[in-house]
Amino acid sequence: MSMNSIPLSDLTSSNSAKFESIGDSHAGRITAINQRQQTTMDGAPSTFPDGSPRMLWAITIERSDGETVTLFAKGGRYTAESGSGESMLSAIGSAVRAAEASGVDIGGELAVQYTGKADAGAGKTAKLYTAQYRPPAPASIPADLFDKP
């Protein structure tokens, strides 16, 4: 892909995955992964106190019903007040380690479930998640084509 092209995944949109109640989950095959800067509720770029950008991962999955949804995975360290879990980004990292994979790849399968709540400070509540990841199957390689007489 040249620097002048835009991936098809960036030209299409999908619904944001909703996690309204503990137990809500989304699972499917990963079709796109993009890192972007978080924004505030009014759309302004979100930064840390030192001015550096707050980033998140937008992971689009295709569910078994064919619908695509995007998971917005942000980090953070929280102690559960009810239920259990981690920030979505940490939960996905834990799932990748448990799968003995080296990272999240397009074609892999990802399941994320809302499993707890934590105090995020300033009167806000953070949602906590648990995730599971299956890396994509390795490509089938034919017999060694270089080993021909």
Question: Residue 112: what pLDDT?
Answer: 98
User: Taking the CA atoms of the chain, what radius of gyration do you get in angstroms?
Assistant: 18
pTM over 0.85: no
Q: What is the Cα–Cα distance from 106 to 1, expressed in whole angstroms?
A: 16
Burial 109-122 (b: 16+ CB within 10 A, else e): bbebbbbbbbeeee
Question: Residue 68: what pLDDT?
Answer: 93
Question: Residue 121: what pLDDT?
Answer: 84
Residue 25 has pLDDT above 50, yes or no: yes
Tokens 């390689």, residue? 141
Q: What is the Cα–Cα distance from 4 to 128, expressed in whole angstroms?
A: 38
Residue 4 has pLDDT above 60, yes or no: no
107-147 pLDDT, tens digit each: 999 999 999 999 988 888 999 999 999 999 876 666 666 66
Q: What is the Cα–Cα distance from 14 to 71, expressed in whole angstroms?
A: 10
Q: How many CB atoms sit inside 10 A of residue 55's CB?
A: 13
**Which pLDDT band, with edges at 50, 70 and 90, does 2 fall under?**
very low
CB-based contact 103:95 (threshold 8 Å): no
Residues 6 or more apart whose Cβ sits within 8 Å of residue 137: 107
75-90 pLDDT, tens digit each: 988 999 999 999 999 9
